[in-house]
Amino acid sequence: MIEVSRTELEGVLLIKPYIFEDHRGQFVETYNEESYKKNGIDVKFVQDDISISSKDVLRGIHGDSQTHKLLSCLHGKLYFVVVNCDTESTDFGKWQSFILSDTSRMQVLVPPKYGNAYLVLSDEATFHYKQSTYYDRKKQFTYKWNDSRFNIWWPIENPILSQRDAQGK
């Protein structure tokens, strides 16, 4: 059982899964194809990936023109950003942020032509993403995390970056 909400960005969805809690802990169904289809999300996912990062690591802004991504935080807390990177769109550069964590279990569905990035707010975080296409670095776009065209507000001044994310290439 999931609850799906639209966001400020066309095609980007916020998904709240049902969380069962009792004295033993928590149970969360992170994906059920039938449930997602009933809620209008008919995307075939072909690859799952996990990224583990330390506090103040910022990853992204990455995306491509073909891939849907279903993103969540399995452990820890993230400041998550989605950006319209479709240069032919009148909404190019429009962005929205979300807090994803292991307590809320919120997921974000990011369509093609959108980039995503995240900053780790907790001591460590595990980021999970399902993809509708197989990863191909050559087909991806990358924008610098603080690209002035987007004017994204980040709750940090000097994040820990890869060379790719620092240069935006």
Residue 140 forms part of a structural domain: yes
Residue 108 forms part of a structural domain: yes
Give the residue from 49, 105, 59, 104 showing the smallest Cα distance to 80.
Answer: 59
Q: How many domains does the chain divide into? A: 1
Query: Quick one: how far is CA 97 from the chain centroid?
Result: 10
The pLDDT, as a whole number, for residue 126 is 98
Tell me if residue 75 is catalytic: no
Structural domain of 113: 8-16+44-167
Residue 38 forms part of a structural domain: no
Mean pLDDT in residue range 64-74: 98
- Is residue 122 pLDDT above 90, yes or no? yes
Tell me if residue 62 is catalytic: yes
In DSSP terms, 114 is beta-bridged to: 84
Residue 97 forms part of a structural domain: yes
pLDDT in tens, 87-109: 999 999 999 999 999 999 999 99
The pLDDT, as a whole number, for residue 1 is 87
Residue 154 forms part of a structural domain: yes
pLDDT in tens, 3-58: 999 999 999 999 999 999 999 999 999 999 999 999 999 999 999 999 999 999 99
The pLDDT, as a whole number, for residue 168 is 86
Indicate which residue of 62, 68, 79, 114 is catalytic.
62
Indicate which residue of 36, 114, 118, 129 is catalytic.
129
Residue 70's CATH number: 2.60.120.10
What's the chain's average pLDDT?
97
Residue 123 forms part of a structural domain: yes
The pLDDT, as a whole number, for residue 127 is 98
